[in-house]
Amino acid sequence: MHRQMQKLPFYHSFGGKSHDTAVELAGRLVDLAPVPMSKVFFANSGSEANDTAMKMVWYYHNAIGKPNKKKIVSRMRAYHGITIASASLTGLVNNHRDFDLPIDRVLHTDCPLHYRYANSGESEEDFATRCADALEQLIQKEGPDTIAAQCLALTLSIP
Ligand SMILES: Cc1ncc(COP(=O)(O)O)c(C=O)c1O
């Protein structure tokens, strides 16, 4: 960190620009990634990364001529960050109430936590099937052609 600060403390990577350290780090991240990838987009926080992911999903669907395919399904109780978009993905009432969130195009489906939300005597298998059915019903109600993505990460906030 100290060596880098002496060499180049900061430089952006927008507008087709980059620098050797960012290129090297991107290469190392691609090598480490658990799934095949070829691109890295740097962000300063998890919230900003999630906002960027949403923008990329919307950009992609505009680019392929599907401007109505923009809704993103997240889960109740999931935490995704504090910016307007990532707080919208977050499924916590306290993070929405009084902030006019979530923004439109963000939907929430059930929290898949058997311990808290299973009916009395409901097996994990049955509970998981009920959650999957609820997701399917939401997608059908909204229109599958309007659903762009689903959030998979789930950091639960359990009081
Ligand atoms: C799954 C998940 N997404 C996003 C965030 C937000 O990250 P940040 O606090 O860096 O904005 C967190 C933070 O805990 C998280 O757990």
Reported confidence tier of residue 14, pLDDT bands at 50, 70, 90: confident
Please report which confidence band the pLDDT of residue 158 belongs to, taking 50, 70 and 90 as the band edges.
low
Q: What is the pLDDT of residue 78?
A: 92
Q: Which of 52, 54, 86 to mutate to test the pocket of ligand 1 (most atoms within 8 A of CB)?
A: 86
Q: Using a 6 Å cutoff on CB, does residue 81 contact ligand 1? A: yes
Q: How remote is the CA of residue 113 from the centroid of ligand 1, in Å?
A: 19
Burial class (CB in 10 A: 0-12, 13-18, 19+), 151: buried
- Candidate from 4-18, 55-69, 99-113, 117-131 with smallest mean pLDDT: 4-18
Q: Which of 5-9, 75-79, 151-155 has the lowest mean pLDDT?
A: 151-155
pTM confidence score:
0.89
How far is Cα 62 from Cα 86, in angstroms, rounded to an integer? 21
Nearby residues of 71 by Cβ (< 8 Å), 6 or more positions away: 105, 106, 107, 142, 146, 147, 148
Element (H, E) at 51: helix 46-63
108/144 Cα distance (integer angstroms):
15
* Residue 43 in contact with ligand 1 by CB distance below 6 A: no
The Å distance, Cα 89 to ligand 1 centre, comes to: 11
Domains and CATH numbers, the chain: 2-32 (no CATH), 46-150 (3.40.640.10)
Question: Measured between alpha carbons, how far is residue 76 from residues 36, 94, 140 in Å?
Answer: 30, 12, 19
